[in-house]
Structure 1
Amino acid sequence: MNKRHLLRVAVLGAGALLLAGAGWTQDFPPKKPVTLMVGFAPGGAADAAARLIAKKLTENIGQTVLVENKAGAGGNIAHQLTANGPSDGSLLLFGSIGPLTIAPHMMKLPYDPFRDLAPVSGAVHFPNVLVVNASSSIKNLADYIAQAKKEPRSITFASTGSGSASHLTGELFAQRANVELVHVPYRGGAPAMQDLLAGRITGYFAAPPTALPHIEAGRLTPIATTGLTRPAYMPNLPTVAESGFPGFEALNWYCFVASAKTPVPLLDRWNQEIVKVLNDASVREALARHGLTPHPTTRPELLAFMRKESAQWGDIVRQRKITAE
């Protein structure tokens, strides 16, 4: 084979690769409606944010993006379904801190977040807010701690499931405050809130979208937020960090992931579309009204962030000897 023939083969090969890549981008958006799966029940923070973003994605790409709630196992069921799901770009997951970076340290999962799921983009992050029923005698964080010390294990705290952000926030606080709290897992933010409003549990490290309407209506008393700084929507509410626990920070977050079998060009295209939506002024304003901060990222940035969070929460799981309930 002479040099001229070799050059021709190389050029044709390169062209075929370019066409293959172009073919993937031409398949966007998918020809069928896109599913954005959420691992929690309707009415919570994940559901609220996902629906806002899905609406704008639908407008931008000209294809319907449907939110599908698959609650259970602290969100792990939805993550497993996505890991084993279609890889044609028609299924995205509103991934969450628990199944991606906490649960793997607590139990043997049927999927590996870093092997079976591909990062697409960050979505939103926010601090939790510790709330109690307005009829409770607890009015501030000092009262909360005093009761926990006076009557060990008398205080129950809700979460969106074992291994969720709200669960680990409670465990981290119990460790720092040296108190005994009783964890009560639920299948999402909405059912947890229902029991708190009914007086069946003491408190809940809740997501802002779930708690704010009830705080404004006077049904819940906010005790403290879990970020390092006070959120703009609660400027008068102290943080746990400034209430005697310097450096305390426990942020909740959601991101977009897909099956790891999804071709990279499709993942990159979804990243572009999601980042575009999260940078849209109307979307940012709508998310802010729910107490959520947009957090668009590149795919490598999200992967690095997930690895950092996994290391941090893995330490807490081991120190607190937390297991799946």
Structure 2
Amino acid sequence: MPVSRRKSALHLAALGCALAFPALTATPAAAQAAGAWPTRPVKLIVPYAAGGFADTRARRIAEKMGQALGQPVVIDNRGGAGGVSGTDVIAKATDGHTFGFASPGPMVTNAMLMKKLPYDAQRELQPIILIEEAPLILVSSPTQPFKTVAELIAAAKAKPNTLTFGSSGVGGAHHLSGELLAYQTKTDLVHVPYKGGALAATDLMGGHLAFMFEMGYSALPAIQGNKIRALAVSSRHRLKVLPNVPTLDEAGISKFESYNWLGMVAPASTPMPIVKRLNAAVNAALKDADVRTMIESSGGEIVGGTPEEFGKFLAEERAKWAPVIRNANISID
């Protein structure tokens, strides 16, 4: 048989095999994108220890997602290094069934605070959905004379480098919110980091700190018990649980927004049909009454939406925090 005819025959034979056994020739990603996904339980990495803010949200949402996907959704806690260790596991996953939760540090600010990360959030991870924006509450010690944001700023400008604010540690949402306040108001504030937000809150109630930014779930009981004073919230709208407390924008700090948000991300190689199916499952979970109550009762705001909207949000976060971190010369290496 001439060489050209032999090549043609071999080509036709190979094509015939491919048509006869499509499952053997299709890649796993292509098969998943075609509608077979998920073929086994879905794993969601939580880059923090069990029992915390992200973990409690994740477990309730995972339960509802499993109902929509037709497969169990299993939570895998991978705490360590401020969320970096677990996020690296998400970025490196290749099994097509491992995804995870995202928060400001691992997805945005750690790249500005650390000299080196084991992953590139912008290249190795893709957005699925922004689940929740958890605003912080600007609270002061009852021992302080100021009762409004304007009075706080006036006190800071009258005596630079004397007004102290606490945080759960360097580079976290509590800390960066305080630095954003200093940056936007051109004041010199004194940051006092603690090994956890509860320790800082205790010192605030005891009058050892002037103010701090606290998460709603931890601040609300103390506010309701008149142990601390709520001056403003860091969201664009007032909170349902604190309707009489103004936003920082309303209090005179133009366009001030800061959130300890929670989202979901996938490895960059994940086919878009899978990303969209996960997005739909989470959007459905966010309509559940129990999920909504869990988030809103602690001062959180439900978001939802598309992967593209979450991607835009991440870009806006990077643009907002970069100058704040540079101005305060913050590093956690």
Aligned to 2:48: 39
Q: Of residues 90, 94, 101 in structure 2, which corresponds to 1:94?
A: 101
Aligned to 1:180: 188
**Structure 1 gap segments, 5+ residues each:** none
Aligned to 1:321: 329
TM-score calculated relative to the size of structure 2? 0.79
Separation (CA, whole Å) in 2 of partners of 1:6 and 1:35 = 43
Letter in 1 for 2:100: L
Q: 1:194 to 1:59 in 2, by over 3 A?
A: farther
Letter in 2 for 1:93: G
Separation (CA, whole Å) in 1 of partners of 2:252 and 2:163 = 20
**Structure 1 position 296, deviation (Å):** 1.5
Computed over aligned residues only, the root mean square deviation of the Cα atoms, in angstroms, reads 3.5
Q: Does the residue aligned with 1:118 lie in a helix, a strand or coil?
A: strand
Separation (CA, whole Å) in 1 of partners of 2:251 and 2:138 = 13
Aligned to 1:66: 75
**Structure 1 position 117, deviation (Å):** 2.1
Q: Percent identity?
A: 32
1:273 is the counterpart of 2:311:
no
Taking the TM superposition and a 5 Å limit, the aligned residue runs for 1:106-121 are 106-108=113-115, 109-121=117-129
Taking the TM superposition and a 5 Å limit, the aligned residue runs for 1:205-220 are 205-220=213-228
Larger Rg: 2
Separation (CA, whole Å) in 2 of partners of 1:185 and 1:267 = 38
Separation (CA, whole Å) in 2 of partners of 1:19 and 1:111 = 25
Letter in 1 for 2:43: V
Separation (CA, whole Å) in 1 of partners of 2:260 and 2:60 = 18
**Structure 1 position 277, deviation (Å):** 0.8
Taking the TM superposition and a 5 Å limit, the aligned residue runs for 1:231-270 are 231-262=239-270, 264-270=272-278
**Structure 1 position 122, deviation (Å):** 1.2
TM-score calculated relative to the size of structure 1? 0.81
**Structure 1 position 219, deviation (Å):** 2.1
Aligned to 1:30: 40
CA contact (8 A) 1:91 1:258 kept: yes
Separation (CA, whole Å) in 1 of partners of 2:281 and 2:174 = 29
Q: Does the residue aligned with 2:160 lie in a helix, a strand or coil?
A: coil
Length, aligned pairs only = 320
Aligned to 1:124: 132
Q: 1:309 to 1:5 in 2, by over 3 A?
A: same
CA contact (8 A) 1:37 1:92 kept: no
**Structure 2 gap segments, 5+ residues each:** 1-7
Q: 1:14 to 1:202 in 2, by over 3 A?
A: farther
Aligned to 1:308: 316
**Structure 1 position 100, deviation (Å):** 1.5
Letter in 2 for 1:97: P
Q: Does the residue aligned with 2:102 lie in a helix, a strand or coil?
A: strand
Deviation digits for residues 104-150 of structure 1 (CA, Å, limit 9, x no counterpart): 12332222111222322111013321012344444322342243234
